[in-house]
Amino acid sequence: MFPLLPLELYLKIASYIDEDDIPTLYSCILVNRQSFFSYISILWRKPFHIAHRLPRYKVVNLVKVCISTFTADEKRQLSTRSIRFPTQSSTPLINYIKFIECVSDAYIIKALMYFPGVSTIELWKVLIEKLVNDAAKIKCLEIQNFALYWSCMQLDQTLFKMREVKVLKVKRITREQVKILTKFVAIQNSLGEAFFGEVYTGIGEIIEALESYRERKGSLYKVGFRNCNFLRNAYACDVMRFFKMMDNVLLNACSGLDYEMMRKLKCKMKDNLNIDNISLYDTYSIFWC
C-alpha cells in the first residue's frame, strides 16, 4: 500500500504537467486513488483538443462519456434530432463534463468524424449546448461555425475556400452570457442560410434575405444583445469576415447590374446590418474592409 501524499504536493506536481505527459497521468490514476481525484480535472480541461492525437477507440469513448452524462429526457430527444447513438449501459460515477474549461467547435467536430452513421451537425449542436450549459469551469469558448456549417451543408468547398475563421473567443463568460450566446449562434446560422439559400438567384433575393434577417435580429436585441458589447462586436466582426468569403460569389451575382442597383444594395446592407464601413468598388464587388 503506497502512502498518501499531501494534496498540496499533488497539485504542485500537476502544475508542471502538459499534454505530452498524459500517458503518465493515465498510469498514475490507475494505481493511486488520491492522484485520480487530483489529476482527473487536468485530463478533462481540454479533452477534445487532444482527440486527434488519441487512438480511434479512445476518441469514441470520449464522445460516449459525454453522451452518457445526458439526462434520460435529453437522451430521448436525441432520436428526434436524427441522432442514433448507441445506448450506454452505465453512467460514469463522475460527471467529467464539469471539469471542462475550454470548448472549441473545431476540435469537437474532428472527434465526431469517427461517427459516420450519426448526423454530425446535429450531434455537434447537442454537445455544444450541453457543454456551455453544464460545464461549470468554462473559461474559453471558441466558435468557428461558418466553416463548420458550410462543410456540414456540403457546399462547394473550393468556392468558399473553407477558411477556418475564429469568429469568437470569450473568456470568463457568465451563465447569462452563455444563454445569450446560444441565441446568438442560432441567429448567426440563420443569416448564413438566408444568404446561401438565395445568393444564386439574383440581387433582389439577397436584399429580401437582408430584410428578413432584420426582423429576426430584432428578437435578438430583446434578449439583451444590446447589453453585451463583446457579443455585438463579435457579431460585427463575424459578418465582415462572412462577406469577405462571399466576395467572389457576390461579384458573380452582381455582374451586369448598373451602378444605381449596386448603390441600392449597399444602402440596404448598411441599413439592415447597422455597420457603416461598407465599400463599393467599381468592379461591383461588395467587400467589407
Domain residue spans in the chain? Answer: 1-43, 45-138, 178-289
Report the mean per-residue pLDDT for the chain: 55
Kindly tell me if the per-residue pLDDT of 223 is higher than 80: no
Hey, how many other C-beta atoms are within 10 angstroms of the C-beta on 137?
13
Give the residue among 18, 110, 12 at the shortest CA–CA distance from 60: 110
**Locate cell 460569389: which residue?**
249
Beta strands in 128-251 (DSSP E): 140-143, 168-171
Kindly tell me if the per-residue pLDDT of 80 is higher than 70: yes
Dist CA 185 CA 124 (whole Å): 13
Higher pLDDT, 49 or 237: 49
The amino acid occupying position 82 is: S
Dist CA 189 CA 216 (whole Å): 12
Bridge-partner residues for 287, per DSSP?
279
Kindly tell me if the per-residue pLDDT of 123 is higher than 70: yes
* Tens digit of each residue's pLDDT (9 = 90 or more) over 163-178: 332 333 333 434 444 4
Hey, how many other C-beta atoms are within 10 angstroms of the C-beta on 30?
9
User: What proportion of the chain, given as a percentage, has pLDDT over 70?
Assistant: 28
Where does the pLDDT of residue 67 fall: very low under 50, low under 70, confident under 90, or very high at 90 and above?
confident
The strand pair at 140-143 and 102-104 is best described as: parallel
Q: How would you classify residue 56: left for phi > 0, otherwise alpha for psi between -120 and 50, otherwise beta?
A: alpha
